[in-house]
């Protein structure tokens, strides 16, 4: 009897230890991995589906509401008024169901021929040319030692939100170790220099920096764009603004050519104009004095009337 009690006690003890170990070893659900950069978090937000309804709202009101709903900093370029766009005009009428937020934003901006892009400061809304310039002019710091080229480009893209694409056909060439240190340089300049160090080339195609081999870059150069301008946009020039101003609806995304805002009339090249205060009236030139008219000569009596000479005849 005692032996049965001992064996029973041992069994209960072992069962308790086994159960406790099972309980302690139960997997605990891990928290979802946090995005490594704010831009990656914003990308996930823009990829979510949503319902949007705006009736008789201004572009400024829509931007402010989206900023509040998404918790993403959204910056509407104040210069859009120079493009003939009134951001306070209640002209937004749109109803969207179960669309991705990024697609909804594009459709809201399309009638104004505006674009958006992600930067470290958040979402920037402006004309296409200015958005691209804003992305590629972001100041970056480069401090890499023995890091694979493709990894350097990936980190720069994650940090800035720019579209930096490494040609997948490069394979091993994209893994060359990079050692380079730069401080406070424009993103595009940094990428071009990094590509040069790796014996590669960077081409800009609209809002994409494409890194490939020197041979392929030479073949693609005719279709590529040059570096973004380093200075501000030309005053009075509206890139890709549709004729007739913004409208309502979901028209195509294409745009017409550039339109120049009427300005002050230009001055033809030549002698510079004299200020009105310094102008002096030139006195009128006096007419030449006429001398006394010469009286016709009188013929004396006996003089013959002059006979006109006849033309010579051929013999």
Q: What pLDDT is stored for residue 222 in this prediction? A: 80
Same domain? For 142 and 103 the reply is no
**Residue 59: domain span:** 38-127
Residue 262 inside a domain? The answer is no
13 domain residue, yes or no: no
- Evaluated on CA atoms 126, 127, 132, 138, the torsion sign reads negative
Has residue 118 been placed in a domain?
yes
Terminal Cα-to-Cα distance of the chain (whole angstroms): 179
Which of these three, 176, 191, 223, is where a domain ends?
A: 223
Residue 301 domain-assigned (yes or no): no
pLDDT of residue 259: 30
Burial of 273 (0-12, 13-18, 19+ CB in 10 A): exposed
Q: What is the pTM of this model?
A: 0.60
CA–CA separation, 51 and 103 (whole Å):
11
Whole-number Å distance between alpha carbons of 211 and 58: 40
User: 210 and 160 in one domain?
Assistant: yes
Residue 20 has what pLDDT? Answer: 46
Instruction: Judge whether 190 lies within some domain.
Output: yes
CATH code assigned at 219: 3.55.50.30
| 162 shares a domain with 108 | no
Q: How many CB atoms lie within 10 A of CB 183?
A: 9
CA of 124: how far to CAs of 45, 67, 161, 207, in Å? 16, 12, 11, 14
| Residues 167, 107 within the same domain | no
Q: What is the pLDDT of residue 241?
A: 35
Residue 65 lies in a domain: yes
Q: Report the pLDDT value the prediction gives residue 86, as an integer from 0 to 100.
A: 94
Could you give the number of structural domains in the chain?
Answer: 2
- Same domain for 211 and 187, yes or no, is yes
> For 241-262, what is each residue's pLDDT tens digit?
333 333 333 233 333 333 333 3
Instruction: Provide the pLDDT for residue 16.
Output: 52
25: left (phi over 0), alpha (psi -120 to 50) or beta: alpha
Residues 58-107 have pLDDT tens digits of: 999 999 999 999 999 999 999 899 889 999 999 999 999 999 999 999 99
* 46 and 105 part of one domain: yes
Domain finish residue from 78, 95, 127: 127
Q: Domain check: are 115 and 180 in the same one?
A: no
Residue 51 sits in the same domain as residue 121: yes
Whether residue 304 is contained in a domain is answered as no
Tell whether the torsion through CA atoms of 40, 43, 47 and 49 is positive or negative: positive
Q: Are residues 107 and 141 in the same domain?
A: no
Q: Give every residue of the chain whose pLDDT is below 50, as ranges.
A: 5-6, 10-14, 17-18, 20-35, 232-275, 278, 315
In this structure, are 164 and 141 located in the same domain?
yes
| 182 in the same domain as 119 | no
Task: Give the pLDDT score at 307.
Answer: 56
In a domain, 69, yes or no: yes
Last residue of a domain, one of 127, 152, 170: 127
Same domain for 76 and 148?
no
């Amino acid at each position: 009897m005692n032996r049965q009690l001992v064996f029973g006690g041992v069994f209960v003890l072992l069962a308790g230890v086994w159960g406790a170990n099972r309980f302690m070893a139960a997997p605990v659900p891990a928290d979802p991995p946090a995005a490594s950069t704010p831009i990656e978090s914003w990308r996930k937000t823009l990829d979510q589906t949503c319902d949007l309804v705006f009736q008789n709202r201004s572009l400024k009101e829509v931007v402010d509401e989206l900023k509040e709903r998404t918790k993403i900093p959204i910056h509407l370029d104040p210069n859009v008024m120079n493009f003939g766009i009134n951001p306070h005009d209640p002209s937004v009428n749109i109803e969207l169901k179960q669309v991705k937020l990024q697609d909804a934003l594009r459709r809201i901006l399309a009638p104004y021929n505006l674009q958006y892009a992600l930067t470290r400061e958040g979402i920037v809304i402006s004309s296409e040319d200015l958005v691209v310039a804003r992305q590629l002019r972001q100041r970056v710091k480069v401090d890499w030692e023995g890091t694979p080229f493709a990894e350097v480009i990936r980190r720069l893209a994650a940090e800035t939100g720019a579209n930096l694409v490494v040609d997948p056909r490069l394979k091993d060439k994209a893994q060359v170790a990079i050692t380079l240190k730069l401080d406070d340089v424009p993103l595009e300049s940094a990428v071009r220099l990094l590509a040069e160090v790796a014996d590669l080339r960077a081409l800009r195609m609209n809002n994409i920096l494409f890194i490939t081999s020197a041979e392929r870059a030479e073949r693609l150069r005719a279709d590529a764009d040059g570096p973004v301008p380093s200075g501000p946009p030309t005053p009075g020039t509206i890139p890709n603004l549709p004729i007739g101003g913004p409208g309502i609806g979901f028209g195509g995304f294409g745009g017409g050519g550039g339109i120049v805002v009427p300005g002050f009339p230009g001055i033809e090249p030549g002698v510079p104009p004299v200020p009105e205060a310094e102008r002096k009236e030139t006195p009128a030139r006096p007419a030449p004095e006429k001398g006394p008219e010469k009286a016709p000569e009188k013929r004396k009596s006996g003089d013959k009337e002059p006979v006109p000479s006849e033309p010579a005849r051929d013999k």
